[in-house]
């Protein structure tokens, strides 16, 4: 932190105030506060479309150390609404890097605040739960900030997926491949598509509100339901499409929001979690094989465990070892499965990439 | 896989006398393991020739043998006790060697005693450079090119094939004796001769030296189901060429992107899984080319090591304690995180602080010893500091060295001119970190320092921040010192004594303390909880820091 940095302020919806220094763009931003415990991969996190609408605390105390690199992204722009850190670094060191974190945030219009006691802040969120917050480096009057914060919409019931979905269809991979995957894009991470293409798939990515008819015109061997931001229960259009897809009796794979939507399409409700799971170290047990995997997670909503357990046609495949939450399900009478975590990782461990192999095998059979 | 109930008594082998490179860290792991096994109702018998250890305290084990670490002693113990299994991975290389010796003589078999937490073949592979290299090639992991030479002529031929700089490592010598770097043709003959002479079997390994590459260490745990987790990633501030025991190290890794880290993680897991079949701890070292980010594996230690003690304290994850439980059959998902007591032991710790380890040398007590750091470890101890930034942690570490350094840069203040310092820091010595700071104070650029030392620029930038604060402080007296600057100095690890010393005019550390106390700039205490505050901790430990 240098002496010349401008002051900045962070105000939480419950009235808590933190004072720090401005970083990135000078301005004001608001959204739902959440924290990520990962120690690597900040650029991938910031560009992950699932973070749309979120103001993110990075628990790791030094962020920006290795600058930014063009290829370490999960989408073309920064998706977080704001950034909170203890030490956000202007100076970086990585020969392959293209620039500093600060320039990157400025170019992407992202307001950030540093010098914050992030540990105290995280403990507060852990106790009180997710809530809205506002960061400003231009408005330093708390009353005025409170008014601005009041205008920030609640994440519960908020539909955001269609705002980050592609507006045009596009294709990736070998056009002559016999393996075709229709992707429903609700904010898909680049590496999910890479993981499919790497396994030989020809992928067509579709806007969120694409009809089954249009998806079928691609003549896919399987359907992929992507990750994305916001409340899955606020997406009746997607739930309806997935119900129709399931009737097609083709392999279906869902990740994160896609997992929640698959559950909703089977009448299993979702709920807003107290403060979500975000990090690269979440322990998951595959209860089919008995083996464990360290997973990347990023979700603020979950599927109702009671409803899953009671459902006659849904089987639990993966469980979280910390809190027993549902991490993976499959349908008993269909080739459809989904996981709450991120097997594509980036950032994070590659322990769960086998799920893409499973999906490919399912489509080949 | 649940606990193996056929194991009712376990022999733990200690590490013997304290020598450079093998000190109290094995006392720590042995004690943890003993406690961990007794918790399970297992009778623990312990052998160590060193009575000046915690593990030999009567309350640590059911029975303690203070005997020489020899096969005869082992036989005596097995004769006098019914022992189901031996856990040799807690006492460093000494314990492993003794275990191997007894194994070769058929002692374990004779007394029907199983080896747990270890695979003898795995130790052999890890210790034998050539076997290690062959295994790595087989599983597709890159290593530095090397050849084993049994004669002077062979050595010269291989040296020419591989190219300079080189490392000459004599076979079967202790602690790297007789080995060394060869930077060019002119030094080769002497180095080869010295190496061959030092080796009892007249054999040396001629290896390509990756001097200047960045060095990382990963601490892993594996259970019998082959679940593997990475407990800690440690980055060496000093590049390859300085023994890790003599390097300033930092956790978590500071300059590693996720792409690089995952590459390292995947390779380390593949290495551990390819190296025999054992449940327990393991340490893997990598070198990374800073330009291409290409990795090579440096070594693997299939046991609890010096660095696992550091990793345990750094993360709060009790590696030896859990490793002992894995050795008796538990799998990671059956065990709880010891700090939160509610979450799983199968996870990877997340840190929200910075750990810095600085070695402590005693060259003043070893008159005539060469104080240049290299392949052979020379430090006699180390300090570990925790801070909410690298600057804070490194300054706290320097203050803890018990050598009158009140922070980074006030020990043995150099009278050298900047060109002399630049020349001086080219060679790694015990005081290099202090001289780097002197160089920065004199205006030498970050780029130059990074170029001549091979130390990543990021660390030099951080030290430069300490210098900027120090320069600012010089402009003020206690009365004129701005509050913000004082707060900033405290957050960056300046001690009160250091601030008093740096500032203009006379003042004492007590006066600085009184001033900051009156301004409310006081310590806060944070937890080491393994999980970055994500979960509530039941048995954490604490460190002090300064926040807004």
Tens of pLDDT, residues A95-119: 999 999 999 999 999 999 999 999 9
Residues of chain B contacting residue A126, judged by C-beta atoms under 8 Å apart: 533-536
- Confidence bin at B1 (pLDDT 50/70/90): low
- Which pLDDT score, from 0 to 100, does residue B366 have? 83
**Residue B382 in this model has a pLDDT that exceeds 80:** yes
Q: State yes or no: pLDDT of B47 exceeds 80.
A: yes
pLDDT at B92: 86
Asked if B457's CB is within 8 angstroms of A3's CB, the reply is no
Measure the CA–CA gap between B319 and B277, rounded to whole angstroms: 18
Give SS3 for B254.
coil
Does residue B411 carry a pLDDT above 70? Answer: no
Q: What are phi and psi of A190, to 5 degrees?
A: -55, -40
Label residue B249 by pLDDT band (50, 70, 90).
very high
CB A321 to CB B458 under 8 A? no
pLDDT, mean over chain B? 93
pLDDT band at residue A18 using 50, 70 and 90 as cut-offs = very high
| Residue B504: other Cβ atoms inside 10 A | 13
Q: Specify whether the CB–CB gap between A113 and A8 falls below 8 A.
A: yes
pLDDT of A2 > 60? The answer is no
Residues counted in chain A: 365
Q: Which chain A residues are closer than 8 Å to B343 by Cβ? A: 283, 321-323
Task: Give CA separation, A236 vs A159, A303, B154, in Å.
Answer: 10, 16, 75
- Give the closest-approach CA distance of B501 to chain A in angstroms: 21
What confidence score (pLDDT) does residue A298 get? Answer: 97
Nearest-CA distance A98 → chain B (Å): 13
Give the nearest partner residue to B258 out of A41, A120, A292, using CB atoms: A41
Residue B161 confidence (pLDDT): 92
Cβ–Cβ gap B333/A72 under 8 Å: no
Average pLDDT over residues A336-349: 97
Looking up tokens 């070998």 gives A174
Beta strands in B100-227 (DSSP E): 114-115, 146-149, 166-170, 180-182, 204-208, 214-222
Backbone CA torsion sign across B532, B536, B538, B542: positive
Is residue B378 helix, strand or coil?
A: coil
pLDDT of residue A294: 98
**Res B375: pLDDT:** 83
Mean pLDDT across the stretch A128-154? Answer: 95
B333/A321 Cβ within 8 A: yes
The pLDDT of B86-93, averaged and rounded, is 91
Q: Do residues B184 and B163 make contact, with C-beta atoms less than 8 angstroms apart? A: no
Catalytically annotated residue among A256, A259, A277, A327: A256
Question: What is the sign, positive or negative, of the torsion defined by CA atoms of B324, B329, B331, B335?
Answer: negative
Mean pLDDT, range B173-187, rounded to an integer:
80
**A87 neighbourhood in chain B, CB within 8 Å:** 388-389
Query: Could you tell me the two tokens for A291?
Result: 């083996």
Residue B538 pLDDT greater than 60, yes or no: yes
Q: Do the Cβ atoms of B389 and A86 come within 8 Å?
A: yes
Chain B positions touching A86 (Cβ under 8 A) are 352, 388-389
- Cβ contacts of B341 within 8 Å, gap of 6 or more: B538, B539
Q: Residue B175's pLDDT is what? A: 58
- Rounded to two decimals, the pTM is 0.95
Taking Cα atoms as reference points, which of A40, A48, A68, A27 lies closest to residue A300?
A48
pLDDT at B174: 60
Q: Give A-chain residues touching B344 at CB under 8 angstroms.
A: 283, 321-322
Using only C-alpha atoms, chain B has a radius of gyration, in whole angstroms, of: 25
Out of A40, A122, A126, the one facing B257 most closely (by C-beta) is A40
- Predicted confidence (pLDDT) at residue A1 exceeds the cutoff of 70: no
Give the residue-averaged pLDDT of B161-174. Answer: 85
Residue B384 clears pLDDT 90, i.e. is over it: yes
- Return all residues near A153 (Cβ < 8 A) that are at least 6 apart: none
Task: Report how far residue B503's alpha carbon sits from residue B488's, in angstroms, rounded to the nearest whole number.
Answer: 14
Distance from the Cα of B467 to chain A's closest Cα (Å) equals: 12
Q: Residue A349 and residue B348: Cβ atoms within 8 Å?
A: yes
Q: What is the mean pLDDT of residues B276-297?
A: 94
A43, A71 contact by CB (below 8 A): no
Q: Please tell me the distance from the alpha carbon of residue B254 to that of residue B237, in angstroms, as a whole number.
A: 10
pLDDT value of residue B412: 58
Mean pLDDT of chain A: 97
Percent of all residues in chain B with a pLDDT value above 70, rounded to a whole number: 98
Non-local (6+) Cβ contacts of B397 within 8 A are B248, B356, B357, B358, B383, B384, B385
Q: What is the model's pLDDT at position B25? A: 84
- Using a CB-CB cut-off of 8 Å, the residues of chain B touching A280 are 348, 350
Tokens of B152: 């002077």
Chain B residues closer than 8 Å to A100 by CB: none
Q: How far is B149 from chain A (nearest CA, A)?
A: 37
Q: Give the minimum alpha-carbon distance from B254 to chain A in angstroms, rounded to a whole number.
A: 7
**Structure confidence at residue B178 (pLDDT):** 80
> Which residues in chain A touch residue B458, judged by CB atoms under 8 angstroms apart?
65-66, 89, 91-93
Encode pLDDT of A210-225 as tens digits: 999 999 999 999 999 9
With CA atoms as reference, the chain B residue closest to A17 would be B548
Residues in chain A closer than 8 A to B257 (CB atoms): 40-41, 66, 69, 72, 94
Read off the pLDDT of each residue in B113-137 and give the average, rounded to a whole number: 89
Q: How far apart are CA B181 and CA A39, in angstroms?
A: 35
Chain B CB contacts of A347 under 8 Å are 258, 262
pLDDT in tens, B487-531: 999 999 999 999 999 998 889 999 999 999 999 999 999 999 999
Which pLDDT score is estimated for A364? 94
Annotated active-site residue A311? The verdict is no
Tell me the nearest-neighbour CA distance from A294 into chain B, angstroms.
Answer: 7
Q: Cβ–Cβ of B533/A126 closer than 8 Å? A: yes
Selection from B68, B120, B78 nearest residue B96 by Cα: B120
Q: Which long-range contacts (CB under 8 A, 24 or more apart) does A106-109 make?
A: A106/A24, A106/A25, A108/A77, A108/A78, A109/A25, A109/A27
The pair of three-digit structure tokens given for residue B380, joined into one six-digit string: 């006699």
Average pLDDT over residues B231-249: 94
- Residue length, chain B? 548
B435-476 pLDDT, tens digit each? 999 999 999 999 999 999 999 999 999 999 999 999 999 999
| Residue B121: pLDDT band with limits 50, 70, 90 | confident
Min distance A321 CA to chain B CA atoms (Å): 6
Lowest mean pLDDT among A195-209, B261-275, B294-308: B294-308
Which of A17, A124, A321, A344 is the best residue to mutate to test the B interface, defined by the most B CB atoms within 10 Å of its own CB?
A: A321
Do B548 and A19 lie within an 8 Å CB cutoff?
A: yes
Q: Is the pLDDT of residue A4 over 80?
A: no
CA B412 to centroid of chain Cα atoms: 26
The active-site residue, picked from A32, A89, A327, A344, is A344
Determine whether A256 is an active site residue: yes
Assign 3-class secondary structure to chain A.
Answer: CCCCCCEEEEEECCCCEEEEEEEECCCEEEEEEEEECCCCCHHHHHCCHHHCCEEEEECCCEECCCCECCCCCCCCCCCCCEEECCEECCCCCCCCCCECHHHHHHHCCCEEEECCCHHHHHHHHHHHCCCEEEEECCCCCHHHHHHHHHCCCCCCCCCCHHHHCCCCCEEECCCCCCCEEEEECCCCCHHHHHHHHHCCCEEEEECCCCCHHHHHHCCCCEEEECCCCCCHHHCHHHHHHHHHHHHCCCCEEEECHHHHHHHHHCCCCEEEEEEEEEEEEEEEEECCCCCEEEEEEEEEEEECHHHHHHCCCEEEEEEECCCCCEEEEEECCCCEEEECCECCCCCCCCCCCHHHHHHHHHHHC
Tell me, yes or no, if A114 is annotated catalytic. Answer: no
The three-class DSSP label of residue B230 is strand
What is the reported pLDDT for B509? 93
Q: CA angle, A259 as apex, A258 and A260 as ends, to 5°?
A: 90
pLDDT of residue B129: 82
At A3 the pLDDT is 54
Selected residue of B218, B532, B544 to mutate for chain A interface (largest A Cβ count, 10 A): B532
In this complex, the residue of B290, B350, B389 whose CB is nearest that of residue A62 is B389
pLDDT band at B402 (very low <50, low <70, confident <90, very high): confident
- Token digits of residue A360: 């490919």
Q: Are B490 and B516 within 8 A, CB to CB?
A: yes
- The confidence score (pLDDT) of residue A234 equals 97
In the predicted structure, residue B12 carries a pLDDT above the cut 60: yes
A19, A126, A290 member nearest B534 (Cβ)? A126
Q: What is the pLDDT of residues B189-237, one digit of tens each?
A: 999 999 999 888 899 999 999 988 999 999 999 999 999 999 999 999 9
**Among B342, B472, B534, whose Cβ lies nearest the Cβ of A37?**
B534
Longest pairwise C-alpha distance within chain A: 64
Confidence of residue B21 (pLDDT cuts 50, 70, 90): confident
Q: Between chains, do A60 and B532 touch, taking CB under 8 Å as contact?
A: yes
For residue A156 the two structure tokens come to 């519960």
Judging by DSSP bridges, how do beta strands B9-13 and B43-47 pair with one another? parallel
A126 with B332: Cβ contact below 8 A: no
Query: What integer pLDDT is reported at residue B212 of this predicted model?
Result: 86
Q: Smallest Cβ distance to A93: which of B266, B390, B458?
A: B458
């Amino acid at each position: 932190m240098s002496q010349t940095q401008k002051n900045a302020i962070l105000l939480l919806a419950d009235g808590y105030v933190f004072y720090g220094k401005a970083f990135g763009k000078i301005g004001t931003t608001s959204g739902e506060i959440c924290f990520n415990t990962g120690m690597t991969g900040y650029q991938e996190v910031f560009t992950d479309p699932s973070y749309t609408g979120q103001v993110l605390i990075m628990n790791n105390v030094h962020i920006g150390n290795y600058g930014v690199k063009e290829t370490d992204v999960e989408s073309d722009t920064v998706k977080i609404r704001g950034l909170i850190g203890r030490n956000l670094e202007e100076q970086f060191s990585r020969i392959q890097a293209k620039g500093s974190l600060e320039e990157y945030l400025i170019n992407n219009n992202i307001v950030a605040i540093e010098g914050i006691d992030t540990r105290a802040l995280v403990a507060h969120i852990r106790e009180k739960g997710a809530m809205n917050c506002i960061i400003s480096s231009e408005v330093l009057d708390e009353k005025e900030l409170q008014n601005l914060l009041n205008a920030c919409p609640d994440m519960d019931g908020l539909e955001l997926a269609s705002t980050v979905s592609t507006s045009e269809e596009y294709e990736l991979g070998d056009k002559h491949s016999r393996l075709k995957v229709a992707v429903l894009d609700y904010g898909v991470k680049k590496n999910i598509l890479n993981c499919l293409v790497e396994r030989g798939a020809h992928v067509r990515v579709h806007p969120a509100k694409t009809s089954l008819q249009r998806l079928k015109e691609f003549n896919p061997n399987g359907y992929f339901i992507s990750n994305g931001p916001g409340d899955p229960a606020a997406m009746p259009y997607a739930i309806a499409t997935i119900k129709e897809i399931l009737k097609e009796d083709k392999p279906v794979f869902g990740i994160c929001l896609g997992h929640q939507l698959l559950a909703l399409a089977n009448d299993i409700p979702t709920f807003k979690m107290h403060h979500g799971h975000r990090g690269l170290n979440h322990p998951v047990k595959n209860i089919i094989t008995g083996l464990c995997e360290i997973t990347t997670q990023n979700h603020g909503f979950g599927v109702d465990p009671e409803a899953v357990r009671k459902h006659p046609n849904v089987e639990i495949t993966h469980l979280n070892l910390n809190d027993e939450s549902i991490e993976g399900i499959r349908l008993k009478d269909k080739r459809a499965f989904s996981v709450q975590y991120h097997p594509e990782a980036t950032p994070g461990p590659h322990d769960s990439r086998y799920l893409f192999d499973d999906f490919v095998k399912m489509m080949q059979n | 896989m649940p606990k193996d109930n056929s194991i009712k008594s376990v022999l733990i082998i200690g590490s013997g006398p304290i020598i450079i490179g093998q000190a109290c860290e094995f006392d720590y792991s042995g004690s943890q393991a003993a406690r961990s096994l007794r918790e399970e109702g297992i009778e623990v018998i312990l052998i160590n020739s060193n009575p000046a250890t915690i593990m030999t305290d009567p309350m640590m084990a059911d029975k303690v043998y203070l005997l020489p670490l020899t096969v005869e002693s082992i036989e005596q113990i097995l004769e006098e006790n019914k022992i189901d299994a031996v856990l040799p991975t807690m006492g460093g290389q000494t314990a492993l060697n003794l275990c191997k010796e007894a194994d070769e003589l058929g002692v374990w078999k004779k007394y029907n005693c199983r080896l747990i937490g270890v695979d003898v073949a795995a130790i052999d592979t890890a210790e034998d450079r050539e076997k290690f290299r062959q295994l790595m090639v087989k599983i597709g992991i890159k290593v530095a090119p090397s050849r084993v030479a049994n004669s002077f002529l062979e050595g010269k031929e291989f040296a020419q094939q591989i190219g300079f700089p080189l490392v000459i490592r004599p076979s079967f010598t202790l602690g790297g004796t007789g080995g060394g770097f060869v930077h060019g043709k002119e030094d080769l003959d002497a180095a080869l001769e010295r190496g061959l002479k030092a080796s009892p079997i007249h054999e040396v390994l001629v290896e390509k030296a990756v001097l200047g590459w960045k060095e990382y260490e990963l601490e892993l745990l594996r259970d019998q189901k082959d679940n593997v987790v990475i407990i800690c990633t440690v980055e060496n501030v000093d590049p390859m060429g300085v023994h890790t025991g003599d390097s300033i190290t930092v956790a978590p890794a500071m300059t590693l992107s996720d792409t690089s880290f995952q590459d390292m993680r995947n390779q380390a897991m593949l290495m551990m899984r390819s190296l025999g079949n054992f449940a327990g701890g393991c340490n893997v070292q990598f070198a990374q080319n800073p330009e291409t980010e290409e990795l090579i594996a440096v070594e693997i230690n299939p046991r609890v090591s010096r660095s696992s003690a550091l990793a345990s304290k750094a993360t709060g994850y009790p590696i030896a304690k859990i490793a002992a439980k894995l050795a008796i059959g538990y799998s990671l998902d059956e065990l709880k995180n010891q700090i939160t007591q509610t979450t799983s032991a199968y996870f990877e710790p997340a840190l929200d602080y910075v750990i810095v380890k600085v070695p402590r040398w005693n060259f003043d007590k070893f008159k005539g010893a060469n104080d240049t750091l290299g392949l052979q470890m020379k430090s006699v101890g180390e300090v570990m500091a925790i801070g909410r930034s690298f600057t804070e942690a490194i300054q706290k570490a320097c203050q803890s060295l018990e050598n009158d350094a009140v922070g980074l840069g006030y020990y043995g203040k150099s009278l050298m001119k900047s060109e002399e310092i630049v020349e001086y820091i080219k060679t790694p010595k015990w005081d290099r970190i202090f001289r780097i700071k002197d160089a920065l104070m004199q205006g030498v650029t970050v780029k130059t320092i990074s170029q001549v030392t091979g130390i990543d620029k990021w660390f030099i930038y951080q030290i430069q921040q300490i210098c900027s604060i120090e320069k600012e402080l010089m402009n003020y007296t206690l009365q004129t010192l701005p509050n913000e600057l004082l707060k900033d100095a405290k957050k960056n690890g300046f001690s009160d004594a250091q601030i008093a010393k740096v500032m203009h005019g006379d003042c004492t550390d007590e006066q600085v303390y009184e001033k900051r106390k009156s301004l409310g700039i006081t310590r806060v205490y944070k937890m080491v909880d393994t999980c970055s505050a994500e979960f509530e901790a039941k048995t954490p430990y604490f460190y002090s820091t300064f926040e807004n």
